[in-house]
Structure 1
């Protein structure tokens, strides 16, 4: 039951982020094109699982894009706001699908579940 609630909650967060993104009049096609760019962080797994988990978790933590959203609003940098919204939407979509932050033991072990 708790998994269903978490997945649904992140699904709504993804849809809300997409709605806000579209209300800001950013390109939907650019959203689709850039949505999976944060997954480049998985390349750290080429080195080893410890580095892979570190890179993945940095790329999939909401802290950096949230700070960038704040900075983009404060500094009025629309491109940074667009990128940050896409980044945070990616994170919400991942969590909706059950992909969480990784443990160094295995790519399949996440803070949400074993994938």
Structure 2
């Protein structure tokens, strides 16, 4: 879809990590951080912005929706889910980050 928009190819990869600025809400509190992160990383927001841009004929809005949807989809594929308000590492897909598990021989496996 992005290739149909009148933007230079490099704008998509250059802005791809921009939605992660929503993590700055964690500087206020875990609850605010989870809210801002989940709002920006919810795929429905990307879809809604894309369709709004399509119906309004607004390429910038459509670009924002495509960018948010693509970023959120890659996050899910990498195991980063929507956050719970008890901390950044707690998501609807499970706990993320460096986790260690002990195997049956009491050896630590990372």
Report the TM-score when normalising by structure 2: 0.80
Cα displacement (A) at 1:27:
2.6
How many residue pairs end up in the alignment? Answer: 96
Corresponding residue for 1:85?
66
Cα displacement (A) at 1:22:
2.3
Please identify which structure carries the higher helix content: 1
Corresponding residue for 2:31?
50
Cα displacement (A) at 1:26:
3.8
Structure number with higher relative contact order (C-alpha < 8 Å, ≥ 6 residues apart): 1
Unaligned stretches of 5+ in structure 1? 1-19
Corresponding residue for 1:6?
none
- Give 1:41's match in structure 2, choosing from 22, 35, 38: 22
Q: Which has the larger radius of gyration?
A: 2
Could you say what the CA RMSD is over the residues aligned between the two structures, in angstroms? Answer: 1.3
Report the TM-score when normalising by structure 1: 0.77
